[in-house]
Structure 1
Amino acid sequence: MSLQPFHLAIPVYDVPLARAFYRDVFGLEEGRSAEAWVDFNFFGHQLVIHSHPKTPSQENATTNPVDGHDVPVPHFGVVLEWQQWEDLAERLKSFDTQFVIEPYIRFKGQVGEQATMFLLDPCGNALEFKAFKDMGQLFAK
Structure 2
Amino acid sequence: MSNVTPFHIAIPVHNLAECRIFYRDILNCEEGRSSDHWVDFNLFGHQLVIHYKPKNETADLHHNPVDGHDVPVPHYGVVLPWETFESFSEELKTKGVQFIIEPYIRFKGKSGEQATMFFKDPAGNALEFKAFKDMGQLFAK
Measure how far apart 1:111 and its partner are. 2.3
The farther-off stretch of 107-116 and 91-100 is: 107-116
Aligned to 2:5: 4
Measure how far apart 1:101 and its partner are. 0.1
Q: Which amino acid is the alignment partner of residue 122 of structure 2?
A: P
Measure how far apart 1:67 and its partner are. 1.2
Measure how far apart 1:112 and its partner are. 1.4
Looking at structure 2, the residues matched to 111 and 69 of structure 1 have their Cα atoms a distance apart, in angstroms, of 20
The alignment yields a C-alpha RMSD, in angstroms, of 1.4
Residues 1-141 of structure 1: matches in 2 within 5 Å? 2-55=3-56, 59-141=59-141
Q: Structure 1-normalised TM-score?
A: 0.94
Looking at structure 2, the residues matched to 67 and 112 of structure 1 have their Cα atoms a distance apart, in angstroms, of 14
Q: Does the aligned pair in 2 maintain the 1:67–1:107 contact within 8 Å?
A: no
Query: Across the two proteins, how many residue pairs are aligned to each other?
Result: 139
Q: Which amino acid is the alignment partner of residue 89 of structure 2?
A: A
Looking at structure 1, the residues matched to 85 and 24 of structure 2 have their Cα atoms a distance apart, in angstroms, of 18
Q: Which runs of 5+ in 2 are unaligned?
A: none
Between the two proteins, what is the percent identity of the paired residues?
65
Q: Which runs of 5+ in 1 are unaligned?
A: none
Q: Which aligned segments of 4 or more residues in structure 1 are displaced greater than 3 angstroms? A: none
Looking at structure 1, the residues matched to 42 and 121 of structure 2 have their Cα atoms a distance apart, in angstroms, of 16
Give deviations 1:3-35, integer Å, cap 9, x for gaps. 211010000000000000000001111000011
Give SS of 2:129's match: strand
Q: Which amino acid is the alignment partner of residue 64 of structure 1?
A: N
Measure how far apart 1:121 and its partner are. 0.2
Looking at structure 2, the residues matched to 77 and 68 of structure 1 have their Cα atoms a distance apart, in angstroms, of 20
Measure how far apart 1:136 and its partner are. 1.4
